[in-house]
Amino acid sequence: MMTVSVVSPESVLFTGEATQVITRTLSGEIAFLPHHAAFLGALAECHTRIYLVDGTITDVAIHGGFVEVSNNKVNLLSDVAELADDIDRQRALVAKERAEEILNHGQDAHASAALARAHARLNATGGVTGTAAGAH
């Protein structure tokens, strides 16, 4: 078991005991288990899964930031992070469609970033075609 915290500038969104955390850094997806070696990495836009000791999964949309692992603690420090239960799926779907429409007409850095955020939100709430948080 290890302690996991998800922190944004506004608040501590989550703190709890977990058996595993799966997230995505700029280098790729990574899993942390109890007693993981010290680690520091930059987070990508992603769906992060926190496997709690009671067997449930807390799904989080992470929008960049850093992950720090040391002394059996995983700290996810993000400019913006959202728990799946707080995400408006319909709004995320509309944002995804709007970004895809813009990208159909050429490259656009803002649209690409918006699409990445929408995918992180949708994946945290069950995937693009999912209907409920935690649907795996």
CATH number at residue 40: 2.60.15.10
pLDDT tens per residue, range 61-113: 998 899 999 999 999 999 889 888 888 788 888 888 888 888 888 877 887 78
Residues 91 and 69 in one domain: no
First-to-last C-alpha distance (Å) of the chain: 23
Average pLDDT of the residues of the chain? 87
pLDDT at 65: 94
Residues 32 and 77 in one domain: yes
pLDDT at 58: 95
> Structural domain tally of the chain?
2
Residue 135, in any domain of the structure: no
Query: To the nearest whole percent, how much of the chain has pLDDT over 70?
Result: 93
Residue 133, in any domain of the structure: no
In terms of residue numbers, what domain contains 110? 87-124
Give this prediction's pTM: 0.78
Residues 7 and 73 in one domain: yes
Rounded to whole angstroms, how far apart are CA atoms 58 and 28? 20
pLDDT tens per residue, range 47-71: 999 999 999 999 999 988 999 999 9
* Cβ burial 31-46 (10 Å sphere, 16+ → b, else e): ebeeebeeeebebbbb
Q: With CA atoms as reference, report the closest residue to 10 among 90, 51, 65.
A: 65
